[in-house]
């Protein structure tokens, strides 16, 4: 296997781990009776799962081994309503660095197809960091009355709200 293939398989684990973390955050907000925040993070969980499945499909299409990993248990308890969004932003920033490294690895190996595949994810990460930063601003300002956050999410679209037409195909389809 190439370094890129190894790294992409590792990224599949990170994407599934991010999905699990977002489910844990959604469950936390559901338990706090904050349905808009919960719904936002349930959607984020599906999006991260789909990212993993896009990578799996790429590996299958490239006739490379697609390894489906175990993931670490997510963080499930938080000190306040701001902490989960801060964790999510930190996670998105970390994933951005991982995606950048994948693109550089593909470039170093002269694998232009792999590098082109990573370009969609680079754009996606820019959007993810931006939207999560905005949500953190809103939650931080409204931490003493989190119903303002619920109202904000009810009227504003935060994130891309699903799979766009230009997205790479996902194994099993985008479910």
pLDDT 10s digits, 145-169:
999 999 999 998 776 545 566 788 8
pLDDT 10s digits, 9-42:
999 999 999 999 999 999 999 999 999 999 999 9
> What local confidence, expressed as pLDDT, does residue 156 receive?
83
Interacting residues of 103 by C-beta distance below 8 A, sequence separation 6+? 115, 118, 119, 121, 122
> What local confidence, expressed as pLDDT, does residue 170 receive?
83
- Write the secondary structure of the chain as one string of H (helix), E (strand) and C (coil): CCHHHHHHHHHHHHHHHHHHHHHHHHHHHHHCCCHHHHHHHHHHHHHHHHHHHHHHHHHHHCCCCCCCCCCCCCCCCCCCCCHHHHHHHHHHHHHHHHHHHHHHHHHHCCCHHHHHHHHHHHHHHHHHHHHHHHHHHHHHHCCCCCHHHHHHHHHCCCCCCCCCCCCCCCCCCCC
pLDDT 10s digits, 36-65:
999 999 999 999 999 999 999 999 999 999
The residue assigned the tokens 């619920």 is 150
> What local confidence, expressed as pLDDT, does residue 171 receive?
80
Domains and CATH numbers, the chain: 3-155 (1.20.1260.10)
Closest CA to 16 of 70, 90, 60, 97: 70
pLDDT 10s digits, 73-123:
999 999 999 999 999 999 999 999 999 999 999 999 999 999 999 999 999
> What local confidence, expressed as pLDDT, does residue 166 receive?
78
> CA 175, CA 172: separation in Å to the nearest integer?
7
> What local confidence, expressed as pLDDT, does residue 38 receive?
98
> What local confidence, expressed as pLDDT, does residue 82 receive?
98
Per-residue tokens: 40: 């936002």
> What local confidence, expressed as pLDDT, does residue 174 receive?
55
> What local confidence, expressed as pLDDT, does residue 37 receive?
97
Per-residue tokens: 110: 């002269």
> What local confidence, expressed as pLDDT, does residue 165 receive?
63
* pLDDT above 90: residue 67: yes
**Cβ burial 57-87 (10 Å sphere, 16+ → b, else e):** bbbeebebebeeeebeebeeebeebbbbbeb
């Amino acid at each position: 296997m190439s370094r890129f293939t190894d790294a992409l398989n590792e990224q599949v684990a990170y994407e599934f781990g991010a999905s699990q973390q977002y489910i844990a955050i959604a469950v936390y907000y559901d338990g706090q009776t904050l349905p808009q925040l919960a719904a936002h993070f349930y959607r984020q969980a599906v999006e991260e799962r789909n990212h993993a499945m896009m990578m799996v499909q790429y590996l299958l299409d490239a006739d490379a081994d697609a390894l489906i990993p175990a993931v670490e248990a997510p963080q499930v308890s938080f000190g306040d309503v701001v902490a989960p969004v801060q964790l999510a932003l930190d996670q998105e920033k970390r994933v951005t660095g991982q995606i950048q490294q994948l693109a550089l690895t593909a470039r170093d190996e002269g694998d232009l197809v792999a590098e082109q595949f990573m370009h969609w994810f680079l754009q996606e990460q820019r959007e993810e960091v931006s939207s999560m930063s905005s949500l953190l601003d809103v939650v931080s300002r409204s931490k003493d009355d989190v119903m303002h956050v619920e109202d904000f999410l009810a009227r504003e679209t935060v994130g891309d709200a699903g799979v766009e037409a230009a997205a790479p195909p996902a194994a099993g389809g985008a479910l």
